[in-house]
Amino acid sequence: LDEANPENRFNLGWIDTVNALLDEVATAGSSSKKGLVITATGKFFSNGLDTDYVFANGDKLPGYLDSVHDIYTKVLTLPVATVAAVNGHAFGAGAMLALCADYRIQRADRGFWSLPEAALNMPFTAGMAALVRTRLTDAAATEAMLTSRRYGADDAAAAGIVEEPVPADDLLAQQLRAERAQANDVGHRRAVPPFRQHRHTDDAAHVPARRNARIDSHQAAVFVVQRLASSEKGTCRLAKTFLNQ
């Protein structure tokens, strides 16, 4: 953990560091025969947006939110298997980062996954809302987004937010097992034509036909985050709404 950012918030330095690391993974590609495990140490997986920066730099909010969307898109489109090992609290943007991974496990005895935006009177960006709705069932997405419920590992697994709760002592070992299992599937999933080629279309009918629920969820998330987050006008509307709360 960075002593200046013990909650792994999405501050500018953190974003730059994570982007550089994701670029390294993308460059190595599937030829490396390795997957990516996204995790942290300490109390937090990630506590989300850097709200101090947001409220002090309203004029820079659209660009800041776009940089958050870019991280989601990079994780979703990596040519390797990805596992999110949620070691502690995952709130807001950090909770959504976990959703970008192919497989998610959560520490059983400590930490919550939560989208607190409704409780804080903060709107979701169009891309973030669509990401949640394409990764979770309608019922789980609606409850998570509208109630700001805090899900412990057992509840998160029951809601389909994570695949399984894992005891703290077994978290690292299970990360590796999950990564290897996902690596066996990643070649087929990445072979699906990416939704990014449809980024500039406006008709939902242009979305490629469903292959299966797992592939559809992954590819749909790529599509909606890129398509909705790429609209400067939409982001600016969100920024104005956020600042007026």
Indicate the pTM of the whole model. 0.77
Q: How far apart are CA 32 and CA 28, in angstroms?
A: 6
Cα 75 to Cα 37, 94, 181, 201, 242: the distances in Å are: 11, 13, 18, 23, 26
- The pLDDT value given to residue 139: 97
Using DSSP's 3-state secondary structure scheme, residue 37 falls into strand
The predicted pLDDT at position 204 comes to 30
The tens digit of pLDDT for each residue in 132-152 reads 999 999 999 999 999 999 999
Q: Note the pLDDT of residue 75.
A: 97
Q: Which two tokens stand for residue 176?
A: 């590796």
Residue 175 CA, chain-centre distance (Å), reads 17
pLDDT of residue 218: 52
How far is residue 235's CA from residue 65's CA, in Å, rounded to a whole number?
A: 8
Q: What is the pLDDT of residue 87?
A: 94
Question: Which residues partner with 2 through β-bridges?
Answer: 5
Instruction: Single out the residue of 37, 34, 131, 40 nearest to residue 79, CA to CA.
Output: 34
DSSP characters over 14-29: HHHHHHHHHHHHHHH-
> For position 169, what pLDDT does the model report?
79
Tokens of 6: 């013990």
Q: Is 155 left (phi over 0), alpha (psi -120 to 50) or beta?
A: alpha
> Which ranges of the chain have pLDDT less than 50?
187-216, 220, 223-224, 227-245
Amino acid at 198: H
pLDDT for 17 equals 95
Give the strand order in the sheet containing 36-38.
36-38, 82-86, 103-107, 164-166
Query: What is the distance between the alpha carbons of residues 175 and 167, in angstroms, rounded to a whole number?
Result: 12
pLDDT (0 to 100) of residue 180: 64
